[in-house]
């Protein structure tokens, strides 16, 4: 599909880039580059059906290639499709297992799920999205990938300012932008582009950065990224931010082949902007991106958690323990939180989250029903086979029927008698099954059936 570039766009980049602009315009007309990531939170995570012979140099879990969203690898959370340039943002952020991290503009979840995979289910990751529909997509992607340490929120950055002053060790702002770097991946997005729209995006990004400064702890790291070429949204915004907050400073990031320095001449000739990073599709095997890493001066704050009431009753513990004893090889009782009739293994019990719109707090374990506890699919997607008493491997026909919502009829009595079992296909857990009378009854969520 031909990408329709406006005259204003072409004139702007001819003025900025000279003769090279024509190479950029030609690259935008070429096919976009597909890539995907593996998920190290899964058991035997390299056991996927996709070739791993084209690794991405700067990502230890990234590969060039296309994946099928209907494959078991995708359904079970073993792979995540992500544009190759975008993968480098998380590597720049460099998450550690004990960090408190905020992904402020997180939907649909490609960067959040990458961050979580490097945190190994430890620390705290808050993934926020201001758009409610996109926040639901974010939450479902986090569930599919088996992530347990994340609070998903649907709030404005301003909402966080009142509660999380100097709280986070690391913050990622993958800012909503004019999207110029994604024109060839999403040609229809050119219809929304204008010089005025670029200015609107730049102004909105400044408001987001203002909030971010207040949320970042002393000594903390802020990574700012966009998928646009626009100097107004990149170098000029960072120059403005550094001048407004002199205790923030840019740090150098490693640049691989095809990656380029930021352009000081596009940001009031601030020489520090060379430390930022740009990717243009005429030089780099991916889409257009801008990224930079900043650090806040000062000594780290001492932050104490203000714990909320978990809402659990004695009978609740009894029902979950009974379920676990029958179906699991052990159970962690840390950070349990009851919300309505649902049980979570919370990513945080800190009262600072009260008043925010929370879509998911950690791992949804299941639901209390009359005199019993029933597990949620989110729990299955976070379990490893060794944690279950029974894993039943479906064949191709059984798997396809189960995805359609049908039960599995067994030809003979199996060698297990527990009610709740893990179902897998091609060695990958993807759902609970409820066994009774030589059949595995279908409990696969209706919204996921095919």
Is 96 one of the annotated binding-site residues? no
Rounded to 5 degrees, φ, ψ at 400 are -65, -40
- Residue 107 annotated as binding site: yes
Quick count: other Cβ atoms within 10 Å of Cβ 412? Answer: 6
Report the predicted TM-score, pTM, of the whole model to 2 decimal places.
0.96
Query: Which residues have a Cβ under 8 Å from the Cβ of 83 and sit 6 or more positions away?
Result: 32, 33, 35, 110, 182, 185, 286, 287
Say what the pLDDT of residue 291 is: 98
Query: Strands, E, within 298-400: which ranges?
Result: 336-339, 342-345, 358-361, 363-369, 372-375, 391-393
According to CATH, where is 3.40.50.150 located in the chain? 7-296
Residue 77 assigned as binding residue = no
Answer yes or no: CATH 3.40.50.300 is held by domain 390-450: no
For 3-161, where are the alpha helices, taking DSSP H only? 7-17, 20-28, 72-75, 84-93, 110-119, 132-144, 157-161
Question: How far is Cα 6 from Cα 193, in angstroms, rounded to an integer?
Answer: 8
Active centre residues (catalytic)? 227
Q: Which residues, in sequence order, are CB contacts of 86 under 8 Å at separation 6+?
A: 110, 111, 174, 225, 227, 286, 287, 289
User: Is residue 378 annotated as involved in ligand binding?
Assistant: no
Strand partners, 125: 101, 150
Was 129 annotated as part of a binding site? yes
- Are 349 and 308 within 8 A, CB to CB? yes
Is 106 annotated in some ligand binding site?
yes
The correct answer on CATH 3.40.50.150 for the domain covering 7-296 is yes
Q: What are the strands, taking DSSP E only, across 72-215?
A: 79-81, 100-103, 124-128, 150-153, 168-174
Give me 59's structure tokens: 């990502």
| 55 marked among binding-site residues | no
Which of 446, 92, 130 is closest to 259 using CA atoms?
A: 92
User: How does pLDDT run along the chain (450 residues), one tens digit per residue?
Assistant: 789 999 999 999 999 999 999 999 999 999 999 999 999 999 999 999 999 999 999 999 999 999 999 999 999 999 999 999 999 999 999 999 999 999 999 999 999 999 999 999 999 999 999 999 999 999 999 999 999 999 999 999 999 998 999 999 999 999 999 999 999 999 999 999 999 999 999 999 999 999 999 999 999 999 999 999 999 999 999 999 999 999 999 999 999 999 999 999 999 999 999 999 999 999 999 999 999 999 999 999 888 877 888 888 888 989 999 999 999 999 888 899 999 999 999 999 999 999 999 999 999 999 999 889 999 999 999 999 999 999 999 999 999 999 999 999 998 888 888 899 999 999 999 999 999 999 999 999 999 998
Which segments of the chain belong to CATH 2.30.130.60?
A: 390-450
Query: In what helix (H) or strand (E) does residue 221 lie, and over which residues does it extend?
Result: strand 216-226
Residues in the chain: 450
Cβ atoms of 4 and 83 within 8 Å: the answer is: no
Report d(CA 377, CA 278) in Å as an integer: 40
pLDDT at residue number 73: 98
Whether 311 contacts 339, CB under 8 Å = yes
DSSP H or E stretch at residue 202? helix 195-215
* Residue 105 annotated as part of some ligand binding site: yes
In terms of Cβ atoms closer than 10 Å to its own Cβ (0-12, 13-18, 19+), residue 436 is exposed
The answer to whether 237 and 205 are in contact (CB under 8 A) is yes
The verdict on whether residue 424 carries a ligand-binding annotation is no
């Amino acid at each position: 599909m031909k990408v329709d570039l406006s005259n204003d766009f072409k004139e702007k980049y001819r003025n900025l880039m000279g003769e090279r602009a024509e190479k950029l315009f030609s690259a935008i007309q070429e096919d976009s580059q597909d890539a995907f990531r593996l998920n190290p939170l899964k058991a035997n995570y390299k056991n996927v059906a996709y070739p791993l012979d084209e690794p991405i140099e700067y990502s230890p879990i990234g590969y060039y290639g296309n994946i099928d969203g209907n494959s078991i690898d995708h359904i079970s959370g073993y792979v995540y499709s992500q544009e190759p340039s975008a993968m480098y943002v998380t590597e720049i952020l460099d998450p550690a297992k004990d960090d408190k991290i905020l992904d402020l503009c997180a939907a649909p979840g490609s960067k959040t799920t990458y961050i979580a995979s490097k945190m190994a289910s430890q620390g705290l990751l808050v993934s926020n999205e201001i758009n409610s529909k996109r926040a639901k997509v974010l939450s479902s992607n986090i569930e599919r990938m088996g992530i347990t340490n994340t609070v998903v929120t649907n709030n404005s950055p301003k909402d966080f300012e009142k509660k999380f002053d100097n709280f986070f060790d690391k913050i990622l702002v993958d800012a909503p932008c004019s999207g110029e770097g994604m024109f060839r991946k999403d040609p229809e997005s050119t219809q929304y582009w204008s010089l005025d729209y670029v200015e609107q995006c730049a102004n909105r990004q400044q408001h987001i950065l203002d909030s971010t400064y207040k949320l970042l702890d002393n000594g903390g790291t802020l990574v700012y990224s966009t998928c646009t070429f626009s100097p107004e949204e990149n170098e000029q915004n960072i120059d403005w931010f550094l001048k407004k907050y002199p205790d923030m400073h840019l740090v150098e990031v490693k640049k691989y082949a095809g990656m380029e320095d930021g352009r000081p001449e596009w940001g009031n000739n601030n020489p520090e902007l060379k430390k930022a990073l740009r990717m243009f599709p005429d030089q780099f095997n991916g889409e257009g991106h801008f990224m930079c890493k900043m650090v806040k001066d000062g000594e780290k704050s001492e932050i104490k958690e203000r714990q909320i009431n978990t809402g659990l009753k004695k009978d609740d513990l009894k029902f979950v323990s009974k379920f676990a004893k029958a179906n699991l090889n052990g159970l962690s009782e840390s950070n349990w939180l009851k919300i309505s009739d649902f049980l979570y293994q919370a990513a945080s019990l800190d009262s600072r989250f009260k008043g925010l719109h929370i879509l998911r707090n950690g791992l949804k374990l299941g639901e209390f029903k009359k005199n019993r506890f029933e597990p949620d699919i989110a729990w299955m997607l976070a379990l490893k086979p060794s944690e279950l008493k029974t894993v039943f491997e479906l064949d191709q026909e059984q798997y396809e029927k189960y995805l359609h919502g049908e039960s599995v009829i067994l030809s003979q009595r199996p060698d297990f008698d527990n009610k709740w079992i893990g179902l897998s296909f091609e060695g990958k857990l993807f759902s609970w099954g409820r066994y009774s009378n030589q059949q595995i009854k279908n409990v696969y969520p209706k919204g996921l059936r095919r």
